[in-house]
Amino acid sequence: MDGNGPSFYQNCTYTHKPLVMNKLIIYPAVLFILFFIGVKPTFGQFNIKMNVLSGSSTTTCTDPFGAPDPTWAVNIDNAGWVSYPFNGICYNNFPNQQFNKNYPCLVGIPSTIPVCFRAYENDATLPNLCTPVYSCQAEICINVTVPAMGTVPFTITLPAGGPS
């Protein structure tokens, strides 16, 4: 080996090990970050709200204490009846957010939510004027479809000819 002949190292290839280590560290880290940026919205909570914007009821029923008091109530997702309209001391005014529920997972959101409407002639009692007395009532329930996104208005109407 006098320097004129072929050298053993001339035919060998050399790979730079720190570059391979950088690829092994950087690529998974980038993929990990991109995964969580893209998946983060699926880990958020989903919220469904229902607002009662307006309503009315009439009655052909009689009231033993004077003129009839047509009143109505809404029950969303079997959470209990909420009476309308506000009469100066009792019940609710418009608009009223009656339903507000968070769902931690997309798969937990129901496809429909039951909503019931009740019209009645209210003969409140003297001990508690704000506790409705459901006389001469008519009621209907529907399943409201939950939209994938956005706001969807809906109306509930009692069929004609009912008791209230």
Is residue 136 within 8 A of residue 61, CB to CB? The reply is yes
- pLDDT for position 112: 94
The pTM assigned to this predicted structure is 0.69
Distance CA 15, CA 20 (A): 8
Task: Identify whether 95 is preceded by a cis peptide bond (ω within 30 of 0).
Answer: yes
CB atoms within 10 A of CB 98: 19
Task: Tell me the residue length of the chain.
Answer: 164
Closest to 134 measured CA to CA, from 59, 77, 56: 59
Torsion on CA atoms 63, 120, 82, 114, rounded to nearest 10? 170
The one-letter code for the residue type at 157 is T
- pLDDT value, residue 14: 46
pLDDT, one tens digit per residue, over 14-39 is 444 444 444 445 555 555 555 555 54
CA distance 83 to 119: 10
Three-state secondary-structure class, residue 19: helix
How do the pLDDT tens digits run along the chain, 164 residues long? 455 554 444 444 444 444 444 444 555 555 555 555 554 444 558 899 999 999 888 888 887 777 888 889 999 999 999 999 887 788 889 899 999 999 988 888 999 999 999 998 887 767 777 888 888 889 999 999 998 888 888 888 888 777 65
Give the C-alpha separation, 142 to 118, whole Å: 12
pLDDT at 21: 46
| Total Cβ atoms within 10 A of residue 136 | 19
